[in-house]
Structure 1
Amino acid sequence: MYAKPILVVVAAATLASNGTAAPAPVIPESKGIYRLPFADGTEVSVFDDAATHRPVGAIDLVGEPREGKVHRVVAAAKGTVMAIEDSYSEQQSGRAASLCRNNYLWLAHPNGEWTLYGHMATGTTRGKAGLKVGAKVKAGQYLGDEGAVGCAMLSHVHFEVAVPQAKDPIDKGGFLNANDERQRMRIPRFCAVPDHQLRKDAHYTASACT
């Protein structure tokens, strides 16, 4: 049941170097089952799911309502903080991802998978949450506030599950190394969600896994 491969359907506009349609990457499901990375009771909408996100495999989650409320981001499972960047403040929608300065936090989990929380508000991870690299966190523990820092059209959390390479797992921008074919990605599975899979435009309520 674990690590069942999923064919992520990619639009035909994705082309190989010879101009033909490139095959869709086959990305396995995550070993872990994770909670939605927002505080309990938060209504969460899916802006992009693992199939519609570009590049594929990641998920963009939005706390609702979208205006007038600060949404708290929490750990999707217990883990160890591996990397933090929360010093940036500029929203840079429209730039290539490699040119954007994103805020992010990576957690490593006991099952060997890592989770990424991207675009969080300036200073909320080191400051409000008081976290540093090497800190141990529990599932549901506060990590920072939802934001729109870096390559972001709107305030949201960019969420990924991955199995990084052991040496030099991420680059200075927080991107996975050795992931050109999305081979490090895993399709996130979530508790309290039908089939454990999130769907674009659907709404869910964040809660602890039981």
Structure 2
Amino acid sequence: MTEINPNQPEAGALGIWHRHRLAIIIAAIGLVIIGWLYVSKGIAVRQAQDAAKQVQADVTLQRAEWVKRAEARQAEMVKQSLSQFGVPLAWAIRREMMGGNLDQVDQYVTDLVKLDGFEGVAVAKADGSIVVASDRRHLGTAFGSLYAERHLTAEQITAEETAPGQWLLVVPVMGLNARLGTVAIEYQAPPSTLGE
């Protein structure tokens, strides 16, 4: 007799499904979880990279702002120092010009350009002709051919930045009742190391 086995294995794909149903479901769930982890990890990494780039951009922007402020402060300090330097210089040159001692003024100019940063000095009489200069080629030339004419009538010591780090100090030399002359000093400030 033939016996009928109620648990007869089924043939084909349907048979595999019935035999390994639990393993297939677990494998499918595992693949979904692995895929989800991969995608979420990629998103998290991308977000972290974007956040790091944003922080780096913020730090760079903040550093640039600090450097800009520090350089402005340094420029203001140079301006103030040059202006303060101009006061005793004006007194010394005034004393010598009133005495007609241009040789001593020339000695001051010669010694001044030997100092670091001082690139050129010119001393003009009240009429605008240069009588003492660190560059001897400028002797006898008009002050206006080298510097702005407005400096010949300025009544205050002025220090202005003509280019980054380049300064022009203009010192009026006043006598008791009238202007004796004008001193123009070209100064190169030490380079800033903040931007490095």
* TM-score bracket, shorter-length normalisation: under 0.3
* Higher share in helix: 2
TM-score, normalization by structure 2: 0.20
Which of the pair has more CA radius of gyration? Answer: 2
TM-score, normalization by structure 1: 0.19
